[in-house]
Amino acid sequence: MWVGNSLLFNWLDRILVPAQAPGQTSKPTGTVWLLHSGGFYYVEKTLLAGEPLPRPLHWFKWQAYTTWLSGAALLVVVYYLSDRAVMTDPGAFELSHAQANLAGIGAIIGGWALYESMQRVVAPRAPAVAATVWVTGLAAIAIALTQILSGRAAFLHVGAMLGTIMAGNVAMTIVPSQRELVSSVAEGRGADATVSARAKRVSIHNNYFVFPVIALMVISHYPVFYASPNNWLVLFLIGASGAGVRHAMNLRFTNRWWKPMLAGTIAAGAIALFTAIRLGSSAEPTLGGDSSVPVVFADVRHVIDRRCTACHSGQPSDLTFGAAPGGVTFDTPEQIVARASRIHERAVVTRTMPPANKTKMTDAERALLSRWISQGPPLRPRQ
């Protein structure tokens, strides 16, 4: 609802038909007719000079607060209170669960504090310096997270850091400036146009953060993005192309070439992401092993039993994720064979299973699975 409202009001602001003679601020500054569900809506924008404050007056702030609060609660439950499997990747960097949590929380608070201090202290005098410092600082934090946390946790924390900055902008700048606006109208002073200048600046930032944050929130379901050894580059490309797409959308009211620009931005982003992921996966170490020696299914099953069924079973022994994650179980040969291509994708290609290699699967075991698949996807379990 937060993002939906924000997109709707951005659109409204630009689409309003000017309806006012110069100097007549009490008249609507713009109007627009809308059609939605079963009726027509007439929207009027006004600065309410010298008029009483209308009641009830609906504010738009709880959409932002509940988004942040529910996201923060999920982060605590899913990442901080659960096992270390998802926060760290021992193959990349050794951290205890507590240290990893501290790094994650520190990144969120540190990134927000850097941004907020730049906005308050430096931006009023030197906006370009402030923007350079916070953009560089946030990028450095993001890259550092990809180096010390598991790819999935790093991406999620960068999204959480940007989301916290956005919610902070609403709570600490936009809503206070709206309060000032309301009280100046209530006192009959009329709205002070300068009051909203800072609010305007940070809402432009929120506007550009929206798409990268949404992408980072859902990307934990797509290991191909976060598991690439180039994931810091992938992260950067997601941020840049998300903001670029938003920019092309913002231009649509002022630039008649916005459609080709939007299409070009999407295409360039997709090609750059694809290339970055491809370059990353060709850098994967080859697993070795003689591919001509036929693999015995009993060996495959033994590997799966040792490394996977702790979680992927009707009766999992590792209860971190509750029931079998994703509904995937490997209790019978048929279940293993039916998932052969996904097993290959997760355990051999992206190496995102076991998560952060919790069950300490070896390269030789991955190589065995790889050979098993490359000898032709088995239709029935071979004995």
DSSP 188-230: T----GGGHHHHHHHHHHHHHHHHHHHHHHHGGG-HHHHTSTT
Q: Which is nearer to ligand HEC, 249 or 353 (CB)?
A: 353
At closest approach, how far in Å is the CB of 338 from ligand HEC? 10
Other CB atoms within 10 A of residue 338 CB: 14
Q: Minimal distance in Å, beta carbon 97 to ligand HEC?
A: 14
Q: How far is the CB of 307 from ligand HEC (least distance, A)?
A: 4
Least spacing, CB of residue 325 vs ligand HEC, in Å: 3
CB 148 within 8 A of CB 95: yes
DSSP, collapsed to helix, strand or coil, labels residue 90 as: coil
| String of DSSP letters for 245-295 | HHHHHHGGGT-TTHHHHHHHHHHHHHHHHHHHHHHHHHTSPP----TTSPP
Q: How far is the CB of 78 from ligand HEC (least distance, A)?
A: 10
Cα–Cα nearest to 12, from 238, 253, 202: 253
Identity of the residue, 199 or 347, whose beta carbon is nearer to ligand HEC in the bound complex: 347
- Rank residues 205 and 371 by Cβ distance to ligand HEC and give the closer one: 371
Per-residue tokens: 277: 């992921």
Strand order in the sheet with 30-36: 17-18, 30-36, 39-45
- Chain contacts with ligand HEC (rule: CB under 6 A): 85, 307-308, 310-312, 318, 320-321, 325-326, 328, 339, 342-343, 346-347, 353-355, 358-359, 361
Nearer CB in complex with ligand HEC: 92/172: 92
Looking at the Cβ atoms of 130 and 308, the one nearer to ligand HEC is 308
Residue number with CB closer to ligand HEC (28 or 354): 354
Shortest approach of ligand HEC to residue 85 CB, angstroms? Answer: 5
